[in-house]
């Protein structure tokens, strides 16, 4: 009875590895398991055992697109008869197992191994050879040279010999290392794209986050990753079937970026219409409110700007400056509110082309001028009042000093008179 493996726990771009794996053939004395993507519309994959012929580090159970290939996804460095339930390292070179990955064995309690399994592999290989080449039984193999031509037929014969003997042609150490580097690079680029797309999908707390720029960067990352994959395939550094899953993932991410881009364009269109209808009106209200408060400040400081300003008593100047400061505070706040509103709206405008917002910019130019003039007037009033207050303070200080000096002289005069009085009496 054939066994089934139920796999769960893979995440991210490897989530397609989750699902059911059915017992297929044998490899290195252990059963292999294959995933059927046509049943659950996920990634093609295999689970197989590899002995220590390529070194102790490569021995154990593997998740990979194909048996004996250079692309692998996960590794369990154990030599159990069946694939282990836990202990899978994701990616394969990670030093710590991923606790989320679980492989559950279902079906027969014992997986057939040994000679019987090897015969099953050979029989399957013979059938595949006969169907592929139309040359009949394996015994006819020696006569195929006169019938089969072309690279495809020779490749089919080579695959038959490997399958019938149960041997997978090993790659050289340098070739394996090179392919592993390519796989790591491709996986890294897919993860990078996935991270960027995830950032576009979630609302950002960063006030400086620019969605338009993020979309452009994500598109560039997708295109760069796809071009790199195509270049690796064309150069022969990797087989196209080894990166089918990653390519499908990138294409899915590309579609997600396009969806986000379409939604953003719709939102930008609505925002542009809102800017055209409300921006100028709201700014006019804020500028008008600021101008009214500046006028109230001017009224509070009228004594400093009238013709009799030079004849104001110092005490009145000090009191007038206090009133001016009190009136200037709400005027300053109103000016700040208008400027902040203008700043934030200007940032929104920058997300559109010059042609789209040209009319808006023309309409806010006079409002900008009015705002600048109101700010200048308020600064001038506050400066005049402050100058008058400083002069008044100097005058008050002088007056206080004179009063103190006069009082001191009076004390000295009284003392002198008393002294003279006693001297006169003493002489008598």
Contact present, 90 and 14 (Cβ < 8 Å): yes
* pLDDT for the residue 8: 93
* pLDDT for the residue 42: 57
Asked whether residue 134 falls in the same domain as residue 261, the answer is: no
Ranges of residues in the chain whose predicted pLDDT is under 50:
38-41, 109-157, 159-170
What's 172's DSSP letter? P
pTM for this model (two decimals): 0.43
* pLDDT for the residue 164: 42
* pLDDT for the residue 427: 66
Whether 428 is in a domain gets the answer no
Neighbours of 78 (CB within 10 A): 13
* pLDDT for the residue 260: 92
Query: Measuring CA to CA, how many Å separate 350 from each of 37, 278, 355?
Result: 47, 17, 11
Asked whether residue 242 falls in the same domain as residue 192, the answer is: yes
* pLDDT for the residue 98: 93
What are the φ/ψ torsions at residue 51 (nearest 5 degrees)? -80, -165
Q: Is the bond leading into 289 cis (omega within 30 degrees of zero)?
A: no
* pLDDT for the residue 57: 86
Task: Tell me how many domains the chain contains.
Answer: 4
Contact present, 311 and 392 (Cβ < 8 Å): no
Asked whether residue 134 falls in the same domain as residue 72, the answer is: no
**Residue 290: half-sphere exposure toward Cβ, Cα within 13 Å:** 28
Residue position matching structure tokens 């290392």: 177
* pLDDT for the residue 285: 95
Whether 427 is in a domain gets the answer no
For the record, the structure tokens of 412 come out as 């000295």
Domain of 180 in residue numbering reads as 173-268
Asked whether residue 76 falls in the same domain as residue 142, the answer is: no
Whole-number Å distance between alpha carbons of 22 and 14: 19
Asked whether residue 149 falls in the same domain as residue 69, the answer is: no
Whether 426 is in a domain gets the answer no
Q: Where are the beta strands (DSSP E) in 307-428?
A: none
Whether 303 is in a domain gets the answer yes
């Amino acid at each position: 009875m054939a066994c089934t493996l139920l796999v769960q726990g893979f995440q991210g771009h490897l989530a397609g590895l989750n699902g059911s794996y059915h017992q297929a053939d044998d490899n290195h004395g252990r059963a292999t398991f294959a995933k059927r993507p046509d049943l659950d519309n996920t990634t093609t994959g295999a689970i197989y055992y590899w002995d220590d012929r390529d070194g102790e580090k490569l021995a154990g159970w593997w998740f990979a697109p194909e048996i004996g290939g250079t692309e692998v996804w996960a590794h369990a460095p154990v030599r159990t008869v069946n694939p282990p339930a836990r202990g899978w390292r994701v990616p394969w070179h990670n030093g710590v197992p991923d606790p989320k990955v679980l492989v559950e064995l279902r079906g027969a309690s014992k997986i057939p191994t040994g000679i019987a399994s090897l015969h099953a592999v050979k029989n399957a290989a013979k059938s595949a050879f006969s169907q592929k080449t139309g040359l009949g039984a394996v015994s006819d193999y020696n006569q195929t040279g006169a019938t089969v031509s072309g690279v495809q037929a020779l490749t089919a014969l080579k695959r038959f010999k490997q399958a019938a003997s149960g041997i997978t042609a090993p790659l050289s150490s340098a070739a394996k290392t090179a392919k592993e580097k390519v796989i790591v690079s491709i996986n890294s680029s897919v993860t990078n794209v996935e991270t960027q797309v995830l950032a576009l999908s979630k609302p950002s707390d960063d006030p400086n986050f620019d969605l338009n720029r993020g979309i452009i960067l994500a598109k560039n990352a997708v295109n760069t990753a796809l071009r790199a994959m195509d270049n690796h395939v064309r150069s022969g550094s990797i087989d196209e079937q080894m990166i089918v899953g990653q390519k499908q993932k990138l294409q899915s991410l590309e579609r997600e970026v396009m969806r986000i881009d379409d939604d953003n364009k719709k939102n930008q269109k609505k925002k542009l219409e809102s800017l055209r209808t409300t921006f100028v009106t709201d700014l006019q209200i804020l500028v008008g409110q600021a101008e009214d408060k500046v006028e109230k400040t001017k009224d509070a400081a009228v004594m400093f700007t009238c013709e009799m300003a030079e004849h104001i008593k110092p005490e009145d100047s000090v009191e007038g400056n206090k009133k001016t400061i009190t009136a200037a505070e709400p005027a300053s706040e109103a000016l700040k509110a208008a400027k902040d509103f203008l700043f934030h709206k200007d940032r929104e405008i920058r997300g559109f082309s010059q042609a789209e917002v040209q009319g808006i910019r023309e309409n806010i130019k006079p409002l900008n001028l009015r705002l600048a003039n109101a700010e200048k007037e308020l600064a001038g009033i506050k400066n005049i009042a402050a100058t008058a207050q400083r002069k008044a303070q100097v005058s008050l200080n002088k007056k206080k000093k004179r009063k103190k000096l006069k009082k001191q002289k009076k004390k000295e005069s009284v003392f002198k008179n008393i002294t003279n009085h006693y001297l006169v009496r003493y002489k008598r």
